[in-house]
Structure formats: C-alpha cells, structure tokens
Amino acid sequence: MASITTNDLKNGMHLDLGSDGGLVQVVEFQHVKPGKGGAFVRTTLRNARTGAVVDRTFRAGERVDRAFIEKREKQVLYKDTDGYVVMDNETYDQATVAAVSMGDAANYLVDGMALTFLMYGDEIIGTDLPASVELDIAETEPGVQGDRVSGARKPATLETGLVIQVPLFVNPGDRVKVDTRSAEYMTRV
C-alpha cells in the first residue's frame, strides 16, 4: 500500500485506516487553517464494508495508507440460497457472493448480467451498477381502456422482485428501463 499525506486527499479515494477505521472512502474533505494553531483536514468518510458514514479530523500532513481498489468484470450466473454465483470474465473462476454484500444492486440483478465489481484484494466491497437496466414486468394490474389520467401511476413488480411505480399503460410482460439510482421507471422498451 502507498502511504500518502492528508494534504493529498481527493473525493472518492479509498483509505485503509487499519484497526482504527478499516477500509473507508473519502466522501468529502476540507483543509482548514485556523488563525491560531496548526492546520487540519476535516473529512467525511464512508466505511466501504458497512456503508456507515463518520466524520473524522486529521492533522495536516498526517500520513495515511491509500487502498487501491481494482475493478473487475464479472458475470452473474444465477442466484442460489447462499447468494449470487458470479464468474470472473478473465479467469472463469466462480465464486458465491452473499446477497447482503451486493447491497442495492441485488434489486436489479438477473441471470447472465455482466457487472463491474470493486475488489480490495480478493474481497468484493461493492458493485458499479449501470445508470439504468432493462427488466421485465412480472406482475401488475392490466391497463384499462379509456383510463388516461395524465401522470397516473400503478405499482408493478419486476422480474427481480422490486416493486416500482409505472404508468397505467404498462402491462405484464412488458420490458421497461429502470433508473438504478432512484429505482424509478424511465421508459418502456
């Protein structure tokens, strides 16, 4: 691991604080030079494993270990009782990833989907979801002829089990595009 000073911090950078704080991502930082006393760096850090956010202050110039996060393309093969079975696209090695470690990405995963995983050593610490995914509507009330209230919505269950609000004209079996950041309907495909 490379050792850097707190003066070199950037938003999105990962740090390994050891037993003191674990693996964290810098959400925000601010370099402060008060009129009296030494300068310091005020940071907001997100734990990469648990998602917990904590505020922490470092002395200016204090050395911290930078953690290098590798992005690896993997394919989701199928879901089983232990989690998701994924295959590395380069080595063809298969591994089971617990559903909890997938976070919100589990709401959008279907068999055969390619996904970018964030790796710290051999540990999967997160996923990079695309901005939108295309999924099938598994269940919803059928649209009623003549019911064209502008902006009206109804609940629909996707093939992954996620329930979203869709316009009245969407029917079961339709394929829709869903925004993965807000879990909102975008358009019918």
Segment 39-65 shows an average pLDDT of: 90
Report the predicted TM-score, pTM, of the whole model to 2 decimal places.
Answer: 0.72
Does the fold of domain 132-188 match that of domain 70-128?
yes
Q: Could you tell me the pLDDT band of residue 43, with boundaries at 50, 70 and 90?
A: very high
In the chain, domain spans: 2-66, 70-128, 132-188
Angle at 121 (CA atoms; ends 120, 127), nearest 5 degrees: 35
How far does Cα 148 stand from its chain's mean position?
A: 36
Instruction: Note the pLDDT of residue 144.
Output: 65
Instruction: Note the pLDDT of residue 147.
Output: 61
Fold of 2-66: SH3 type barrels. (2.30.30)
Model confidence pLDDT, tens digit, residues 86-142: 999 899 999 888 877 787 888 898 888 998 988 888 888 888 888 899 999 999 987
Fold of 70-128: OB fold (Dihydrolipoamide Acetyltransferase, E2P) (2.40.50)
Angle at 27 (CA atoms; ends 178, 13), nearest 5 degrees: 100
Cα 176 to Cα 13, 57, 79, 139: the distances in Å are 34, 45, 22, 13
Architecture of domain 132-188: Beta Barrel (2.40)
How far does Cα 95 stand from its chain's mean position?
A: 19
